[in-house]
Amino acid sequence: MIAKASAIQHGQAMTNYATKNNRADIVKTNHLSEGLPPMGMWDEMVLHQSMFKQRYAKKPIELTSIRFELSPSEEEARNWTMEDWRRFLDEFIREMDGISKVNHIGKKKGKAATSVKPTNIANSQYFAALHRDSKSGIPHLHLVVNRIDMDGNLNDVKFIGERAVMAAKAINQRHGWKDAMDIRQERIAEVTKACMDVLRSMPFFDWDEYADRLRAKGYDIELIRDKNGQGRVHGYRFKFGKTTIKASELGVGRNLTASKIGNTFRKLHPQPTPVAVGQRPSPSVSNATTLDSRNTASQGGLSRTSNVAKPDLPAGLRKIIEVDGERFSIVMPRTAYDTMNSCIEVPENGSASHTDILNVAMLLFMNYLDAATSMSESCGGGGSPGSGWGRDKDDDDREWARRCAMQANTLCKPIKRGMKR
């Protein structure tokens, strides 16, 4: 099971939500009149608070109630009756009221637990309502508690969220249920495996295809796109009922995030040695793919185009480079490629490989400046060619390729951080 808690000041709105405007099942009420509608229960809580207004006049109570959300797993709560839910609620309240020390998450290891004043929920006004998730149908319990107990004392809410987690963990251990963090880690591992399997099965990377294949496996994935009209994907996440797993939690070293998934795909699909059109393979060329005229035509619909003028190149080496999930078509003369390849310099203590820097140079050669910058950043470099960057009218293909290689060497050098004078 999972438990969440927070002190709130919007008790009236929470009452409406917890009871779904009188359409939720009320599991239990405590120290409230029988048969009251939702707002009637809240009005009684407010009336009780007003009885002790003078006691708290110097420091008025802003957070007037405590909200809890208790979520057993589908397996744990299967076939529960209303009496089972009441027993579960009573057990949770006993655990909460018994907590007097909290190992606060923010404390350093070795420090003593923080003492807290125990809550007195059992002797406070409260009501608990049963909800069911709109998509999965998995039930969970909402509990709304008056901050002022029946004796006029204030329920302490210091570290109330941590206390709820502790109470849930104690109940999980008692019943042999899985801990919430264990369940989450298992789910993250499962989703990571599914993502990697899908990437291995794809002939080329496409965001919609990636999402469709994961949905076919039963996962609820949401792609998060830019709102500038171009629809570029800058993130994604998976939903499991009310639980969300972000792409940044998956894989190793955030290698499944939107900014790095292109590199991950390339590592899973190493490219064969290139062959320039009409020529035999050369051992000096690595990690490129040559496409004949028919392949070029078939891939053309998937290639990224740019409004920036491209060099007028004869048929030669052709390659598709993926950056952040987008595909960029590279076409360049073999002589220019050989010149570029010979000028690549791999920096010391950097994460960029010869192939990474060569790909950046190729993107610069074709004037895909944003893509070149993004790829250099993913390799540990940074910066951009600058507004004055471009091909001079006197540059032939080989000179332009050499300049692109030199610029790529600069862009892919590791950034020195934290060096202040």
Q: Does residue 378 contact residue 258 with C-beta atoms inside 8 Å?
A: no
231: left (phi over 0), alpha (psi -120 to 50) or beta: left
The average pLDDT across 290-314 equals: 38
**Predicted local distance difference test score (pLDDT) of residue 311:** 42
The dihedrals phi and psi of 387, each to the nearest 5 degrees, come to -65, -25
Helix locations, 240-379, DSSP H: 261-268, 293-299, 334-342, 354-365, 369-378
The average pLDDT across 369-383 equals: 83
The average pLDDT across 329-339 equals: 87
Residue 145 pLDDT grade (very low, low, confident, very high; cuts 50, 70, 90)? very high
What tokens were used for 56?
A: 């708290």
**Predicted local distance difference test score (pLDDT) of residue 22:** 63
The average pLDDT across 155-163 equals: 94
* Residue found by looking up tokens 């893509």 in the block: 371
The average pLDDT across 252-270 equals: 90
Q: Which residues of 336-363 are buried (b: 16+ CB within 10 A; e: fewer)?
A: bbbbbbebbeebeebebeebbbbbbbbb
Residue 228 Cα to chain centre, angstroms: 21
Share of the chain above pLDDT 90, in %: 43
Tens digits of residue pLDDT in 273-300: 444 443 334 333 334 444 333 333 333 3
**Predicted local distance difference test score (pLDDT) of residue 380:** 78
Tens digits of residue pLDDT in 19-37: 876 678 899 999 999 989 9
CATH class of 182-255: alpha beta
CA–CA gap between residue 313 and residue 296 (Å, rounded): 15
pLDDT at position 301 over 50: no
The average pLDDT across 311-332 equals: 73
Show me where the domains of the chain are located.
Answer: 2-178, 182-255, 270-411
**Predicted local distance difference test score (pLDDT) of residue 310:** 41
The average pLDDT across 152-178 equals: 92
The average pLDDT across 62-85 equals: 91
* Mean pLDDT rounded to a whole number for the chain: 82
Reference 338, options 358, 364, 313, 366; nearest CA is: 358
pLDDT at position 227 over 90: no
Residue 245 pLDDT grade (very low, low, confident, very high; cuts 50, 70, 90)? very high
CATH class of 2-178: alpha beta
Q: Which among 90-99, 277-286, 303-312 has the top mean pLDDT? A: 90-99
The average pLDDT across 85-107 equals: 88
**Predicted local distance difference test score (pLDDT) of residue 312:** 41
Residue 273 bridge partners (DSSP)? none
The average pLDDT across 317-334 equals: 84
2-178 and 182-255 have identical folds: no
Q: Which amino acid is at 60?
A: P
Q: Which amino acid is at 30?
A: N
The average pLDDT across 263-272 equals: 84
Tens digits of residue pLDDT in 194-221: 999 999 999 888 898 999 999 999 999 9
